[in-house]
Structure formats: structure tokens, C-alpha cells
Amino acid sequence: MVLVLALGDLHIPHRAPDLPAKFKSMLVPGKIQHIICTGNLCIKQEVHDYLKSLCPDMHVTRGEYDEDARYPETKTLTIGQFKLGLCHGHQVIPWGDLDSLAMLQRQLDVDILVTGHTHQFKAYKHEGGVVINPGSATGAYSSITYDVNPSFVLMDIDGLRVVVYVYELIDGEVKVDKIDFKKTATAHSAH
């Protein structure tokens, strides 16, 4: 069982002062094995270093407001039986369009694609795999989505199965939901 934290679009300090206190108290160092961040932290020192303190294996891709311009546009990594792809999402037009994201997924050749930019949590399955948007961890303003609730995603990867937990802060309370995905063993040829 491998825990992967997926979050992004914090927009600190442009659009939000900090992570919600309730999230901060849940995110404790040592419990998570990997962190993948879709981008738009924005400030390196505070946010990047804070996330790194939760888990040293942290991956970030570049959002259009990120202070550190050296983050890569896309990133792929393998965790257990799954190949994960990471991209902020402002590069994929139309923004939030499932089919266009599916093309990126095919291009990166990954089972799970994690993108952000719309600040709206999404997790759906299509033939190529799973596309996840962890939303905005701070509930930051978005021109695309109205009424953004702070949210982040925790993936539990176990063999051929991944359970996606989404944590959303609604009216001051943290609500959790989960979605199950199973990877079919015959899905991809060996690489």
C-alpha cells in the first residue's frame, strides 16, 4: 500500500493566504510516500519547502503563476504497477476538456493522468485510464470554476488497484469521498 498525495493550484499568496487549518492538521510528515503537485504553488520557499517536509519525494510541474520557472511542463513516474503522468493543464486546450486531456494521457502513455488548472475536483475513468484533478488545495479563485471548495486527493495504490480519496472542505467540515479503479492486466503492452 503506497500513499500518494495529489494537490495543486494553491496560489499562495496571490489568491489565498495559506492552506486551510483543517488540511494542515491532517497532512502530517511520514505518512505519505509520494507527493505530486500539479503546479501554481506559487511561492517556492514557503509552499515548496513545506510540501517537501511532508515527504521528500515530491514532484511538481509548472503552473503559469509559479515563481520557480524551472519546473518541467510534464512529468511521468512509475509507482507500483501504475504509470502516472503529471501536468498543470493550462497547456491543454480547451481547458478541462476530457477528450483533450485523454490525448495528453495517450501522449504520455500513462495509466493515471493528474492535472489541475480548473480548480475543480474531477476523477473519471475512460478506456485509456484515469484522469484526476485534485482541485485547489486552498479553494483559490478561478475564472473557470465558481464556488471553489478547498480539496486534495490521496491515492492508495495497491497492486493493480488504486483507491482515490478526495478530501473536500465544505462549510468548514472536511468531507471524504472515495472512488475505486482497477487496472486490467492486459491493458498495455510491455515497455
Partner 1 sequence: MTSGGIEDEEKWLAEGIAGLQHNAFYMHRALDSNNLKDALKYSAQMLSELRTSRLSPHKYYDLYMRAFDELRKLEMFFKEEARRGCSIIDLYELVQHAGNILPRLYLLCTVGSVYIKSKEAPAKDVLKDLVEMCRGIQHPLRGLFLRSYLSQVSRDKLPDIGSEYEGDADTVMDAVEFVLQNFTEMNKLWVRMQQQGPAREKEKREKERSELRDLVGKNLHVLSQIEGVDLDMYKDTVLPRVLEQVVNCKDELAQYYLMDCIIQVFPDEYHLQTLETLLGACPQLQPTVDIKTVLSQLMERLSNYAASSAEVLPEFLQVEAFTKLSNAIGKVIEAQVDMPVVGAVTLYVSLLTFTLRVHPDRLDYVDQVLGACVKKLSGKARIEDAKATKQIVALLSAPLEKYNDIVTALNLSNYPLVMDHLDNATNKVMAVVIIQSIMKNNTYISTDDKVEALFQLIKGLIKDLDGSLVEELDEEDFKEEQNSVARLIHMLHNDDPEEMLKIICTVRKHILTGGPKRLPFTVPPLIFSALKLIRQLQGQDGDVVGEDVPATPKKIFQLLNQTIEALSSVPSPELALRLYLQCAEAANDCDLEPVAYEFFTQAFILYEEEIADSKAQVTAIHLIIGTLQRMNVFGVENRDTLTHKATGYSAKLLKKPDQCKAVYACSHLFWVDDQDGVKDGERVLLCLKRALRIANAAQQMANVTRGSSGPVTLFVEILNKYLYFFEKGNPQITSAAIQGLIELITNEMQSDTTTDPFADAFFASSLRYIQFQKQKGGGMGEKYESIKV
Positions that interact with partner 1 (CB under 8 A): 12-18, 21, 43, 45-46, 64-65, 90-91, 93-95, 97, 99-100, 102-103, 106-107, 109, 127-128, 140-141, 143-144, 146, 189, 191
Residue with cell 462549510: 171
Q: Which is nearer to partner 1, 46 or 156 (CB)?
A: 46
Determine the residue type at 149.
Answer: N
Q: Which is nearer to partner 1, 64 or 180 (CB)?
A: 64
> Which strand (E) or helix (H) includes residue 153?
strand 151-158
Q: Which is nearer to partner 1, 30 or 70 (CB)?
A: 70
Q: What is the rounded distance in angstroms from the CA atom of residue 11 to the CA atom of residue 147?
A: 16
* Smallest distance, partner 1 to C-beta of residue 149, A: 15
Residue with cell 480547451: 94
* Smallest distance, partner 1 to C-beta of residue 61, A: 13
Neighbour order of strands in the sheet with 129-133: 74-79, 82-87, 112-115, 129-133, 122-126
Nearby residues of 24 by Cβ (< 8 Å), 6 or more positions away? 18
* Smallest distance, partner 1 to C-beta of residue 98, A: 11
Identify which of 151, 97, 142 has the alpha carbon closest to the alpha carbon of residue 117.
Answer: 142
* Smallest distance, partner 1 to C-beta of residue 124, A: 16
Q: Which is nearer to partner 1, 13 or 159 (CB)?
A: 13
